[in-house]
Chain A
Amino acid sequence: MSTVLSQRGLNWLHALTADAAGQSGYPASLKVVDAPLAGRPARYLAVVPDADNRFPRARHGEVGLLEGWSLGQALDEVIAADRDAPVKRAVVAVVDVPSQAYGRREEALGIHQALAGAVDGYARARLAGHPVIALLVGKAMSGAFLAHGYQANRIVALRDPGVMVHAMGKESAARVTLRTVDELEAFAAKVPPMAYDLDSYASLGLLWETLSVERIEQPGAEDLARVRACLEQAEADIRAAGTDLRGRLGAANRAASRRVRELLRAQW
């Protein structure tokens, strides 16, 4: 299988942080960069390809054992650093993750626990009052997105065919549901949560904003200014509205999620 490694995450991270140096003490597959957002300190995180990753199934930007636990570390540092600060710094997850790592080493060593380390970090950062924003510049797939981005208060996606949120790749999803890829695509066309395109995903109400850019692979000055402004608005919105995930429940396609919560509250 020939795979062109995506550099989007790395390129956007460099652009947003004006090429600031990364923190040391992390694997090459996790970039941790401290740089300002809206004039205040912030931490930017990206999981990126590392052809020399010690774990061979995590060399294409997948979120694996080292990446999951190290995200937990990077987020715990942020929480500790601002423990007594009245204004907590923002965290920006730059998301371009093709999948979690699928492999024997990963299952044996407990990749589910490593990814929980990342989720734990993001969720606690949010609960501690840190604005957490996810910027989707490429794929945001399944367990990888759960670990890196899905705990954000606000999710911003760039409009591009390469930006995709899904639970499973088409071939595997077809195999598991005993359908052909054609059948899967036919259902995806009429069932929005099954679809692979960004417009369908946006109809679920999980995105705070979508943005078009000129050069998705390597942003120019205008792209950068537009995205930066959007991140700043997202941060301000979180500081004004609170750090929970309630903002995700508003869409018509999430009516059942709201109804369940209303009924639970009524019967509680």
Chain B
Amino acid sequence: MSDLNALLHSRSFVELGARQRASALLDQGSLRELLDPFARVKSPWLEAQGIVAQADDGVVVAKGSLGGRPAVLAAIEGGFQGGSLGEVGGAKIAGALELAAEDNRNGIPTCAVLLLETGGVRLQEANLGLAAIAEVQAAIVELRQYQPVIGVVAGPVGCFGGMSIAAALCSHLLVTREARLGLNGPQVIEQEAGIEEYDSRDRPFIWSLTGGEQRFACGLVDAYVADDAQAIRERLLGILERPGDALPRSRQYPRFLDLLGRYDAAPQADAAAVRALYQGDQA
């Protein structure tokens, strides 16, 4: 009964655009967008390449509150250029996180939520996208000292490239079943390493290694949530209520080096072997 009820009242998060996602997660009525589309701060590089730019460069930055706590949220629009980060979109995320850290130094405990729907660097702005991602990463580590920086990978684009490293720096990371999380996109691995190594058309294989369920089973993310806007919001509020004091995953080199030292790297990897390895020391 309650399951059916939940199903009837759930609202898919994955299907929402970036702006709708922001308003679904922040406290009702608290959202104030910064550099909204009418500011028209667009990519300065795309039009020279014959590519139509989007007014917000595919990133929504909003201030607001989460359970009454001051928060800043950055949402990447996966529909624009595959959610790729260029100079402007990257600067919006990095700049917002930098200001949140400054808030904290001034006694305002602003936390951050990043909605990551991205293939990584926008190759049409290559080196400025890469530089911006380095700055996003720096800002996550800086803000994380003060307040949670929570990453959400909902899908359908997933989170790849340099932004997967950014996701892995977050203090907490949430995924849905529709999420994929990995450094290198399947096409690029196939291009660089060959189809024997990675068949970019074999979707079940790719999902088995990089899908949200596998990442959660391996302990590489903190929560596996339903594709439901309210469920995701409640999870965020729960984390902010009790952030815990676990060392961020990106600081856990002793554990990961120990596990990798025990891993037999001779045979090719499969999902089950990786689960067994990463679950082995948590039983």
- Whether A and B touch directly in their complex, counting CB atoms under 8 A apart, is answered as yes
Name A residues whose Cβ lies closer than 8 Å to a Cβ of B: 54-57, 65-66, 69-70, 72-73, 76, 99-100, 102-117, 119-120, 123-124, 126-127, 142-143, 145-147, 150-151, 165-169, 171-173, 175-177, 187, 190-195, 201, 204, 206, 245, 248, 253-257, 259-261, 263-265, 267-268
Q: Which of B217-262 contact A (CB under 8 A)?
A: 218, 220, 248-254, 256-257, 260
B183 on interface, CB distance cutoff 8 Å: yes
Q: How far is the CB of B205 from chain A (nearest CB, A)?
A: 9
A102 to B160, CA, bound (A): 13
Q: Which of B121, B251, B256 has the most CB of A within 10 A?
A: B256
CB atoms of B44 and A107 under 8 A apart? no
B268 on interface, CB distance cutoff 8 Å: yes
CB atoms of A102 and B188 under 8 A apart? yes
A178 to B277, CA, bound (A): 38
CB atoms of A166 and B167 under 8 A apart? no
Assess A265 versus B165: contact at CB under 8 Å? Given A109-B260, A114-B256.
no
Beyond the given A104-B198, A248-B131, please list 17 additional residue pairs across the A-B interface where CB-CB is below 8 A. Answer: A73-B254, A102-B188, A105-B269, A106-B184, A107-B209, A108-B270, A111-B184, A117-B256, A126-B138, A146-B134, A146-B162, A151-B137, A187-B49, A194-B125, A204-B131, A254-B128, A260-B88
Residues on B with beta carbons closer than 8 Å to the beta carbon of A253:
128
Interface size class of B (residues with CB under 8 A): 35 or more
Bitwise, B180-198 to A at CB < 8 A (1) or not (0) is 0111110111011100011
A138 to B125, CA, bound (A): 22
Which of B41, B137, B253 is close to A260, meaning CB atoms less than 8 Å apart?
B41
Residues on A with beta carbons closer than 8 Å to the beta carbon of B152:
none
Instruction: In the A-B complex, list the 6 residue pairs whose CB atoms are closest, starting with the nearest.
Output: A116-B168, A112-B164, A123-B141, A260-B91, A120-B250, A150-B134
CB atoms of A111 and B274 under 8 A apart? no
Bitwise, B29-49 to A at CB < 8 A (1) or not (0) is 000001100010101110011
Q: How far is the CB of B162 from chain A (nearest CB, A)?
A: 5
Which of A119, A127, A171 is close to B169, meaning CB atoms less than 8 Å apart?
A119
CB atoms of A173 and B137 under 8 A apart? no
CB atoms of B125 and A103 under 8 A apart? no
Which of A73, A113, A259 is close to B168, meaning CB atoms less than 8 Å apart?
A113
24 contacts between A and B (CB under 8 A): A56-B265, A57-B193, A72-B253, A105-B268, A107-B210, A108-B271, A109-B260, A112-B181, A117-B253, A143-B161, A167-B121, A168-B126, A191-B45, A191-B48, A193-B45, A193-B128, A194-B45, A194-B124, A204-B131, A255-B44, A263-B34, A264-B92, A264-B99, A267-B35
Which of A115, A145, A150, A256 is close to B44, meaning CB atoms less than 8 Å apart?
A256
Residues on A with beta carbons closer than 8 Å to the beta carbon of B274:
108-109
CB atoms of A100 and B184 under 8 A apart? yes
A172 to B187, CA, bound (A): 8
B174 on interface, CB distance cutoff 8 Å: no
Q: B50: nearest residue on chain A (CB-CB)?
A: A187
Q: Is the interface of B mostly helix, strand, loop or mixed?
A: helix
Which of B41, B161, B182 is close to A107, meaning CB atoms less than 8 Å apart?
B182
CB atoms of B130 and A145 under 8 A apart? yes
CB atoms of B251 and A120 under 8 A apart? yes
CB atoms of A191 and B91 under 8 A apart? no
B129 on interface, CB distance cutoff 8 Å: yes
Bitwise, B124-158 to A at CB < 8 A (1) or not (0) is 11111111111101100110010000000000000
CB atoms of A261 and B95 under 8 A apart? yes
CB atoms of A65 and B260 under 8 A apart? yes
A71 to B256, CA, bound (A): 12
Name B residues whose Cβ lies closer than 8 Å to a Cβ of A: 34-35, 39, 41, 43-45, 48-49, 61, 63, 87-88, 90-92, 95-96, 98-99, 120-121, 123-135, 137-138, 141-142, 145, 161-162, 164-169, 181-185, 187-189, 191-193, 197-198, 209-210, 215, 218, 220, 248-254, 256-257, 260, 263, 265, 268-271, 274, 277
Q: How far is the CB of A139 from chain B (nearest CB, A)?
A: 13
Assess A66 versus B181: contact at CB under 8 Å? Given A167-B127, A260-B88.
no
CB atoms of B169 and A116 under 8 A apart? yes
Residues on B with beta carbons closer than 8 Å to the beta carbon of A204:
127-128, 131
Q: How far is the CB of B136 from chain A (nearest CB, A)?
A: 10
A264 to B118, CA, bound (A): 22
A151 to B210, CA, bound (A): 26
Residues on B with beta carbons closer than 8 Å to the beta carbon of A115:
165, 168, 183
A173 to B135, CA, bound (A): 22
Q: B88: nearest residue on chain A (CB-CB)?
A: A256
Q: How far is the CB of B40 from chain A (nearest CB, A)?
A: 11
A248 to B123, CA, bound (A): 20
Q: A145: nearest residue on chain B (CB-CB)?
A: B130
Residues on A with beta carbons closer than 8 Å to the beta carbon of B210:
107-108
Q: How far is the CB of B61 from chain A (nearest CB, A)?
A: 7
Assess A127 versus B141: contact at CB under 8 Å? Given A142-B130, A142-B162, A204-B127.
yes
